[in-house]
Chains A and B, each alone.
Chain A
């Protein structure tokens, strides 16, 4: 009899992908302006490090909150004991208000329809457990966040079937791609339980268009057991037009007849990890008008509750409307500036990005640098960029992109200086390598890479949690 479960011994946690392997290289040789100026610059981490000063200054002005005090009195005991999976009411109220604010107050959310979870990682998995059986499938537009392979599939037994999007129309979801995915699932004898989109998209950095929404709504409208999950974790990072449209807004705009068909099959996932840059605090949420989903997810959240200490701190912060308004706008300004820097820097190296208006990264077109239009060539190029150029970026294949040559490059997790250094390195690399590199160095890279891969796949990865 096998000692451990299949789940414990299989690879469905997906952590052998290159997405995580690049990390290891970075960890061995991390860039430091002073101590290691030739090290690898981390550009594979979708973190928002641009606005901590704003948070820190708020904390400094509100010391009582971290001190477990309310109106001068200690509430430590109350918080220490608070493990109600319905969540701290004050926090849920503050969170729904914050979410409404991000959406320009075009929609409002009811705290009673919200479930708190330890991060969006937990929220997404919990939703799968609620709406799908083992062996069911969800359709996801590619490219998508590599972590979904673990979060949606691993312990739930749910399958992901890709909706293949291509550069020919800027990776927008098309009706034919949706249909194709649906047929692919049917061919594999999989029952499709719905579609999961990330809006704004990771790794594209674009927001869903109204046309895409129409397609999605049409797709699930008459299929009565199908759900639409919208992971809106990057909703607060929209820094330029077109403005963000949440799926909840789409619902609101629908005719009552149409809305009635789908309102209880649409669910939103959110988190404070990207907008506020607080991934360590583990704050995620599921929002749904479907009472049964909320009820089940609430009980399941027992397996991943948010620390009451953290709920209290953030309740106070997010209730400060003056602060949140200022924060949202200033944060977006800084993100926009940084994205411009990256786009311009890459432009100078003759590299184009997908036009984007959100996120903490750009979707970068390096097809013209490939030796051949293949994923092997993409891997070769990626290795060069990691080892030669010294930038850890994410290859499109790790995001299940159907076309080789695209890379996700993050811009909000390092200082401006570091970004400048990275851009200089890219420019030098492109200027130096005029195509003569193809084939000659790839052999030695393949050798070192395969040893490295072999080493890595046989032991635990120190990969941090991130998107």
Chain B
């Protein structure tokens, strides 16, 4: 009676990524009401800088009342459903992106398509770039939501490109070729590569070398690149070696090569959900030099327009350049501090993290805590951490990591106190493992 899409679990929502949530929902930590409850560390939200936004809102209450220069914009906004987006908002967005990325490229609003969140943006790009059954290569580990966002209704396939801890999970030309080969063997037409930069769940930014490998590969195979840069504003460590470089910047540096079509093959996704911490407002976007993609994506955005009320509010917020600059600097400072807290806390528990410079999470190495080098052992460990230690973290397998034992732990969605408590609990947990390791392993096998 219903479609296959509606009946199957191709929405991908049965993975452990979501199961941990359910446990958390049943027994959520609260400092007073439920201090023994599960602490949510599986949610990549940025809750660190709301006070800054709230103070701006207090100073600009007219914006919330949909007034501009004392005049009500309510009627115009209520009627505004043009899929080209509110011009003032798009201008503010491209200016924001330009300055946020160090003014290395000037972004222009006619290459921008607004969508209700990056979730919609990514799906729309797939609809534009692939026919059902065609594939995109994604480096692992990747955001579990992609299995739904990229594949479910589009019929597209994902070919994982397995990255490994041996080189810090970096993308290599060799791994790209292997993934492409795999696609050939599976008889799947590969239309492109999708990367998340900065990476979720790794928290690292792609180096210029990696980006250039990617471009070379895309030129060679005549395929697309989609760069999901949703975390680009969360880069908190910007030395010359670790600052953020957008794919658009590297593409720009190749401008003189006109005998390939690469300029038309590179597309970027962005959103305000992570940098500004506004996932509820549903603001995402596609950026591309390809006019046909922009034209098609614009029409498709009809299915996912951004509320004009929200466009108006945020266009005013983002246009306040002085405020935004201050916000970004302070936000990044707070993110760095939190990340350092997490890294230190884990180190005290004898656990190391992948060295990272961005994101709202760390990629944590718990391989030494596994009872065996297997995904079953990873699942066991994960269950213990959720149920015994009381931390909802995301197991690497839910991110399609090829090596067991890695976990994503978020640090920006809880209070500082909760983070301290979480670290305390981890230390107690690892202490107990290391001091009585053998008997614990035998006990564990029994209870599960």
Seen from chain A, the residues whose Cβ lies within 8 Å of a Cβ on chain B are 1, 3-9, 13, 15, 47, 49, 52, 55-56, 59, 63, 66-68, 74, 76-77, 79-83, 118-119, 121-122, 125, 129-134, 150-151, 154-155, 224-225, 227, 265, 273, 277-282, 292-293, 296-297, 299-300, 302-310, 313, 459-460, 462, 464-466
**B360 beta carbon closer than 8 Å to chain A:** no
**B278 beta carbon closer than 8 Å to chain A:** yes
| Contact between A465 and B83, CB atoms less than 8 A apart | yes
**B129 beta carbon closer than 8 Å to chain A:** yes
Complex Cα spacing A55 to B309, Å: 14
The 10 A-B residue pairs with the shortest CB-CB distance, nearest first, are: A308-B280, A280-B308, A296-B6, A307-B307, A8-B296, A280-B80, A82-B280, A8-B128, A130-B6, A465-B81
Chain A contacts for B152, CB-based, 8 A? 300
| Contact between A47 and B53, CB atoms less than 8 A apart | no
Interface bin, chain B: 35 or more
Complex Cα spacing A121 to B273, Å: 24
**B391 beta carbon closer than 8 Å to chain A:** no
11 contacts between A and B (CB under 8 A): A4-B293, A56-B72, A121-B303, A122-B304, A130-B2, A131-B3, A280-B308, A300-B152, A303-B119, A307-B309, A459-B295
Most chain B CB atoms below 10 A, which of A74, A273, A281, A313: A281
Chain B contacts for A299, CB-based, 8 A? 11, 13, 148
Q: Which of B390-424 contact A (CB under 8 A)?
A: none
Most chain A CB atoms below 10 A, which of B2, B45, B81: B2
**B326 beta carbon closer than 8 Å to chain A:** no
Complex interface: stretch among B59-67, B349-357, B432-440: B59-67
Report A52 CB to chain B, min CB distance, Å. Answer: 5
| Contact between B74 and A56, CB atoms less than 8 A apart | yes
| Contact between B64 and A66, CB atoms less than 8 A apart | yes
Q: Which of B201-254 contact A (CB under 8 A)?
A: 222
| Contact between B74 and A155, CB atoms less than 8 A apart | no
Query: Given contacts A5-B129, A302-B148, A304-B116, is CB(A15)–CB(B78) below 8 Å?
Result: no
Chain A contacts for B153, CB-based, 8 A? 129, 155, 300, 303
Taking A55-B78, A224-B1, A280-B81 as known contacts, 7 extra A-B pairs with beta carbons closer than 8 A to each other, sorted by chain A number, are A1-B191, A281-B78, A302-B149, A306-B282, A307-B309, A309-B307, A460-B298
Report A128 CB to chain B, min CB distance, Å. Answer: 8
Chain A contacts for B3, CB-based, 8 A? 129-133
Chain A contacts for B27, CB-based, 8 A? none
Report A100 CB to chain B, min CB distance, Å. Answer: 24
**B381 beta carbon closer than 8 Å to chain A:** no
Complex Cα spacing A303 to B303, Å: 8
Chain A contacts for B308, CB-based, 8 A? 280-282
| Contact between B299 and A15, CB atoms less than 8 A apart | yes
Report A284 CB to chain B, min CB distance, Å. Answer: 10
Complex Cα spacing A306 to B283, Å: 11
Complex Cα spacing A466 to B84, Å: 14
| Contact between B83 and A66, CB atoms less than 8 A apart | no
Chain A contacts for B139, CB-based, 8 A? none
Report B123 CB to chain A, min CB distance, Å. Answer: 5
Query: Given contacts A5-B131, A303-B116, is CB(A52)–CB(B54) below 8 Å?
Result: no
Query: Given contacts A5-B127, A304-B303, A465-B305, is CB(A76)–CB(B2) below 8 Å?
Result: no
Report B68 CB to chain A, min CB distance, Å. Answer: 13
Report B380 CB to chain A, min CB distance, Å. Answer: 29
B290-302 Cβ-contact flags toward A at 8 Å (1 or 0): 0011011111101
| Contact between B65 and A282, CB atoms less than 8 A apart | no
Query: Given contacts A67-B65, A80-B280, is CB(A130)–CB(B307) below 8 Å?
Result: no
**B82 beta carbon closer than 8 Å to chain A:** yes
Chain B contacts for A300, CB-based, 8 A? 11, 152-153
| Contact between A313 and B50, CB atoms less than 8 A apart | no
Query: Given contacts A81-B280, A280-B79, A282-B307, is CB(A131)–CB(B2) below 8 Å?
Result: yes
Complex Cα spacing A163 to B182, Å: 48
| Contact between A309 and B309, CB atoms less than 8 A apart | yes
| Contact between A66 and B66, CB atoms less than 8 A apart | yes
Chain A contacts for B278, CB-based, 8 A? 80
Complex Cα spacing A279 to B83, Å: 12
Report B418 CB to chain A, min CB distance, Å. Answer: 15
Q: Which of B97-143 contact A (CB under 8 A)?
A: 116-117, 119-120, 123, 127-132, 134
Report A394 CB to chain B, min CB distance, Å. Answer: 17
| Contact between B307 and A81, CB atoms less than 8 A apart | no
Q: Which of B1-56 contact A (CB under 8 A)?
A: 1-7, 11, 13, 45, 47, 50, 53-54
**B319 beta carbon closer than 8 Å to chain A:** no
**B277 beta carbon closer than 8 Å to chain A:** yes
Complex Cα spacing A125 to B129, Å: 20
Complex Cα spacing A30 to B302, Å: 24
**B77 beta carbon closer than 8 Å to chain A:** yes
Most chain A CB atoms below 10 A, which of B11, B84, B132, B310: B310
Complex Cα spacing A79 to B11, Å: 26
Chain B contacts for A277, CB-based, 8 A? 78-79
Complex Cα spacing A47 to B80, Å: 11
| Contact between A307 and B282, CB atoms less than 8 A apart | yes
Most chain B CB atoms below 10 A, which of A49, A81, A300: A81
Partner of A76, one of B54, B79, B131, B303: B54
Chain A contacts for B11, CB-based, 8 A? 296, 299-300
| Contact between B78 and A279, CB atoms less than 8 A apart | yes
Query: Given contacts A130-B2, A280-B309, A307-B307, is CB(A56)–CB(B65) below 8 Å?
Result: no
| Contact between B292 and A49, CB atoms less than 8 A apart | no
| Contact between A303 and B120, CB atoms less than 8 A apart | yes
Complex Cα spacing A6 to B148, Å: 21
